[in-house]
Amino acid sequence: MTDSVSEKQAATPTRIPGEAGVWLFVLGDMILFAVMFGIFLHYRWLEPELFVQSQATLNTSYGAINVLLLLTSSWFVASAVERLKKNEAREGHQLLMGAFACGTGFSVIKLLEYSEKIGAGITVDTNTFYLYYFFLTGIHFLHVVIGMFVLGYLISKARTFDVSRNDVAHYESGGIYWHMVDLLWIVLFPLIYLVQ
């Protein structure tokens, strides 16, 4: 009995969620961000006082709410994929809508935060801290916006989803991308807003 199980396991190769190409994309993007995190830490090390002073002007609540929003959205996406696998298209569709709503919330808060900064006369030209604050969060925000389009596309297809006809890997791939966007913010938030 045990033998036949292990034989079976050996025969079926380990399935990767989504498809290999998405992981290639995610790996490439994470390397890109890792380099940018390194750059930020390097300049922080060169001007520690300026970075601590400027950091104090950031709105930590906005950053923290956005962590919660993205974590929640990741849960929505993961649950949606689970539901779709069980062929529960309606529930899957609703859960994806929940993820989209969280992404919208993130975007609104991000734009509010930027407009407050710009209103206070703080721009990329103010100092090195703000230059990297705007660049890093801005590049991340671009990823969020792209993710919203991906979610929008998946939502448009989810209502009529059928496991026998459609490929759940598309949803897994989109989910993997969205989890990466979430993960990057979980690193960015403490790095820019909190680390003393």
Partner 1 sequence: MTHRSQIIILIWGLVFMAIYGLALWRLLHMWPPPPANWTAEQVAQFYRENTLDIRIGAMVTSWCSAFMVPFACVAAIQLRRLEKGLPVWTVLHLAGGILMSMFLVLPPIFFGVAAYTPDRAPEITQLMHEYGLLMLVTTDQYYIFMMISIAVVSLTTNDELTAFPRWLGYYTLWAALAFEVGALAFLPKSGPFSWNGIMVFWMPISVFGVWVITTSIVMIRAILAQQRAEEGLAAETVGGLESTV
Which residue lies nearer to partner 1 by CB, 47 or 113?
Answer: 47
Binding status of residue 142 toward partner 1 by CB under 8 A: yes
Which residue lies nearer to partner 1 by CB, 83 or 103?
Answer: 103
| DSSP class of 56 | T
Q: How far is the CB of 50 from partner 1 (least distance, A)?
A: 14
Binds partner 1 by CB under 8 A, chosen from 24, 52, 108, 195: 24
How far is residue 89's CA from residue 1's CA, in Å, rounded to a whole number?
36
Size of the site for partner 1 (CB under 8 A): 22
How remote is the C-alpha of 73 from its chain's centroid?
9
All residues at 6 or more sequence positions from 137 whose CB lies less than 8 Å from its CB, including other chains: 110, 188, 192
Binds partner 1 by CB under 8 A, chosen from 67, 101, 131, 186: 131
All residues at 6 or more sequence positions from 189 whose CB lies less than 8 Å from its CB, including other chains: 63, 64, 66, 67
Binding status of residue 30 toward partner 1 by CB under 8 A: no
How far is residue 175's CA from residue 66's CA, in Å, rounded to a whole number?
18
Interface with partner 1 (CB under 8 A) = 19-22, 24-25, 28-29, 32, 35-36, 39, 43, 124-125, 128, 131, 135, 139, 142-143, 146
